[in-house]
A = this chain, B = another copy of it.
Amino acid sequence: MSTSERLIESTRELLWERGYVGTSPKAIQQLSGVGQGSMYHHFDGKPDLAFAAITRTAEEMRAKAALELDGPGSTIERLTVYLHRERDVLRGCPVGRLTQDPEVMADPTLRRPVRETFGWLRGRLAELLAEGRESGELDPALDPVATASTIVAVLQGGYVLARAADSTEPFTEAVEGVLGLLAARSRPGTRAS
């Protein structure tokens, strides 16, 4: 792996674990094994490096979700695949955690990938739910846009509860809970071709 790669990957790890405010250039150098001078040769400084790391993390998150939500099966089946994906629950969401970082939120450049990722995700889920409603799989009274935000919120909030409890249990409960509520508004016989 190149020096630049090692720096970005180490920064991603540290941002996930400690956030932007809690991550120092020195820590990045130590984790990556890259020296001071070398780091400042490849990147302008902490914000520049963080931008590279955040962008990559956001793209990865989006790509994974897209794969599952574009996959085969009915709306409920795809949602179930998405919600049941194995996650590093106790570490939380590497993108969602950045919303708690005042310096990330204050910098439009660092903030943009965060905003765009959740904007895209809510939109994509709303589309999927709307399709399910059209096809007759879901109750016509269900609001696709609101429900999409609910689903993303359940995941993001599930991480919070899991970290608070130091247990994956509340995350799992929250996911099963929303799937249970959705199931009651679907006609199981309906399947996407």
Contact = CB atoms under 8 A, between A and B. Distances in A.
A118 B185 CA distance: 28
Contacts of A141: 180, 184
B119 A165 contact: yes
B21 A143 contact: no
Interface residues of A, number: 57
A115 interface: yes
Contacts of A99: 92, 160, 163-164
B185 A170 contact: no
Contacts of A164: 96, 99, 114-115, 117-119
Contacts of A115: 164-166
A122 interface: yes
Number of copies: 2
Contacts of A114: 164
Nearest to A156: B157
Interface stretch (A28-36, A49-57, A146-154): A146-154
Interface string A106-123: 000000001101110010
A122 to B, nearest CB: 6
A12 to B, nearest CB: 15
23 contacts: A17-B102, A21-B22, A22-B22, A22-B102, A22-B103, A97-B100, A99-B164, A118-B170, A141-B184, A142-B184, A147-B181, A149-B158, A149-B170, A149-B177, A152-B170, A152-B174, A153-B156, A153-B157, A155-B157, A156-B156, A156-B160, A157-B157, A181-B181
